[in-house]
């Protein structure tokens, strides 16, 4: 196996260790902790009164707008990383190219800003 | 991790076993240390009280007592909850933390995984915890939890961007994504031809450092960015329905991640395991490095917790405004300025 694959095998092992460790801790706990379920205990907490209505209620649309904006800028960051690493090789050419790229994205942010998308209402 | 420290060649599996043990120490030791030193003691002293004093000398055994307490608590899953999602959420959060520690180099040869995509990988796996928190908020089937979970997701993705963009300045300067090579680049660097302390990027990337610190404060949902768990508004946000061990797991995840993020900040901006005056190729670093990095982790997380204890909570609109209207444009400017300076000089 190449070193490249091997290092990702280690990554997978660490992920597995996390799962096993958490499972082990919860497993050990199950021998110690009491289990006396009651109806009142299992209801959702709503400051002491009986919960009202459906729990999965609608929430503010703003979160969705910000999630969309996030996708836009996260994709941008993905493209900037390889450029940032190789900038010394690209020189002025790379600099101008990236300036144009960032300018277009700033334009997008400015548009969202102008449209009032960044305002929390 | 201790492979080259002992200067012996080990088979992959025994090496990996050592790495896993090292990883557990590297996650749990800073997490416990941060909770005791900062959360228990520093916060108490800043608020003119003593904090835990009964368990062990100066309350140093308090953490063990706490874990013992949480172990005995009943594990309650709300009747209406989405059972699988609710129970899996702590796993996802801790997996994110365990993958994040992998990229931290503790010495020239003392690393867990020497990924060429180091910092990029770290940024990617750090956002996995968002999924865990959303799962916790959604699965609990409680209004407080849902609101807290959505708030957390909105906050974490908004501050992910300044964090990633702040890192880009360092990547441009170092010309590599590999965490260990970033340390070497700082150790071998020079500022205006002066080669006394190398070039810790906090000196040239001070804007990036400030952005990164604000962003990780928000990523860790530490006050003043703790709207997702705001106790006066949402009881405990996405943690409301969790009890006993599952709650403790989120808590461990939070402080372990605080330690790892401080470590990443230390590697990117303070030179990681390098101390001025000792050549970075020196073998001593495989012993000294972990100690130096641990010291820097405590320095950086000291800053994080200092802010935590000092500032009142933001409002939700102020939070999003700070990220989108200030931090992101400044971060973009920082990238362009760094790029220009890199090419011109």
Residue A13 covered by a domain: yes
pLDDT digits (tens, 9 = 90+) for B256-274: 999 999 999 999 888 888 8
Do A70 and A26 share a structural domain? no
DSSP B67-92: HHHHHTS-----TTS-HHHHHHHHHH
Nearest to A34 among B74, B94, B98 (CB): B74
Which residues in chain A are contacts of B238 at CB distance < 8 A? none
pLDDT digits (tens, 9 = 90+) for B1-15: 444 444 556 777 887
User: Residues 210..249 of B with a Cβ closer than 8 Å to A: which?
Assistant: 235, 240-241, 244-246, 249
User: Residues 100..139 of B with a Cβ closer than 8 Å to A: which?
Assistant: 101-102, 112-115, 120, 138
Domain count, chain A: 2
For residue A64, count other CB atoms closer than 10 A to its CB.
12
pLDDT digits (tens, 9 = 90+) for B192-223: 666 667 778 887 888 999 999 999 999 888 88
Do A71 and A15 share a structural domain? no
* CA–CA distance, B79 with B340 (Å, rounded to integer): 59
Do A79 and A120 share a structural domain? yes
Residue A39 covered by a domain: no
Respond yes or no on whether ipTM tops 0.85: no
Do A29 and A67 share a structural domain? no
Residue A26 covered by a domain: yes
Residue B57: band (very low, low, confident or very high) from pLDDT cuts 50, 70, 90: confident
Peptide bond into B308 cis (omega under 30): no
Do A25 and A75 share a structural domain? no
What is this structure's pTM?
Answer: 0.87
Do A65 and A29 share a structural domain? no
Structural domain span for residue A68? 60-121
Are B79 and A42 a contacting pair at CB < 8 A? Answer: yes
**B114 to chain A, closest Cα gap in Å:** 7
Residue B129: band (very low, low, confident or very high) from pLDDT cuts 50, 70, 90: confident
Tokens of B110: 């003392």
Are A51 and B142 a contacting pair at CB < 8 A? Answer: yes
**A17 to chain B, closest Cα gap in Å:** 8
| pLDDT computed for residue A1 by the predictor | 67
For residue B158, count other CB atoms closer than 10 A to its CB.
26
pLDDT digits (tens, 9 = 90+) for A53-94: 776 777 777 788 888 888 888 888 888 888 888 887 888 888
| pLDDT computed for residue B265 by the predictor | 92
Do A29 and A64 share a structural domain? no
Chain centre to alpha carbon of residue B332: 23
| pLDDT computed for residue B8 by the predictor | 59
Do A64 and A30 share a structural domain? no
* Segment of A28-37, B208-217, B220-229 carrying the highest mean pLDDT: B208-217
């Amino acid at each position: 196996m190449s070193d490249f694959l091997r290092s990702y095998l280690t990554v997978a092992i660490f992920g597995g260790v996390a799962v096993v460790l958490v499972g082990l801790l919860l497993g050990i706990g199950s021998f110690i902790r009491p289990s006396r379920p009651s109806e009142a205990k299992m209801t959702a907490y709503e400051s002491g009164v009986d919960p009202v209505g459906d729990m999965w209620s609608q929430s503010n649309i703003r979160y969705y707008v910000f999630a969309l904006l996030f996708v836009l800028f996260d994709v941008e960051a993905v493209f900037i990383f390889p450029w940032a690493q190789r900038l010394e090789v690209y020189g002025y050419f790379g600099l101008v190219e990236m300036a144009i790229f960032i300018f277009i994205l700033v334009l997008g942010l400015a548009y969202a800003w102008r449209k009032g998308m960044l305002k929390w209402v | 991790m201790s492979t080259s420290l002992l200067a012996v060649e080990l088979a992959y599996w025994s090496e990996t076993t050592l790495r896993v043990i090292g990883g557990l120490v590297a996650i749990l030791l800073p997490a416990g240390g941060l909770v005791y030193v900062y959360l228990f003691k520093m916060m108490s002293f800043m608020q003119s009280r003593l904090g835990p004093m009964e368990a062990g000398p100066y309350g140093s055994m308090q953490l063990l007592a706490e874990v013992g307490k949480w172990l005995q608590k009943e594990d309650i899953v709300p009747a209406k909850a989405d059972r699988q999602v609710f129970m899996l959420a702590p796993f996802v959060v801790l997996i994110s933390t365990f993958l994040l520690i992998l990229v931290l180099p503790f010495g020239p040869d003392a690393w867990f995984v020497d990924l060429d995509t180091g910092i990029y990988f770290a940024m990617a796996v750090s956002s996995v915890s968002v999924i865990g928190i959303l799962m916790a908020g959604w699965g609990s089937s409680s209004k407080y939890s849902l609101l807290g979970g959505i708030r957390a997701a909105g906050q974490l993705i908004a501050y992910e961007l300044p964090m990633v963009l702040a890192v880009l300045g360092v990547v441009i300067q170092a010309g590599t994504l590999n965490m260990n090579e970033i340390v070497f680049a700082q150790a071998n660097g020079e500022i205006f031809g002066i080669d006394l302390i190398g070039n810790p990027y906090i000196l040239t990337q001070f804007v990036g450092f400030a952005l990164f610190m604000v962003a990780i404060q928000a990523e860790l949902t530490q006050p003043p960015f703790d709207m997702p768990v705001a106790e006066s508004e949402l009881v405990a946000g996405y943690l409301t329905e969790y009890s006993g061990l599952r709650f403790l797991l989120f808590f461990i995840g939070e402080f372990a991640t605080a330690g790892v993020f401080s470590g990443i900040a230390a590697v990117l901006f303070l030179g990681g395991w390098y101390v001025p005056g000792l050549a970075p190729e020196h073998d001593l670093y495989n012993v000294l490095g972990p100690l130096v990095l641990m010291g820097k982790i405590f320095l950086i997380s000291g800053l994080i917790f200092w802010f935590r204890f000092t500032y009142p909570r933001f409002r939700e609109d102020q939070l999003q405004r700070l990220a989108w209207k200030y931090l992101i444009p400044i971060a973009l400017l920082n990238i362009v300025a760094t790029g220009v300076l890199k090419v011109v000089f």
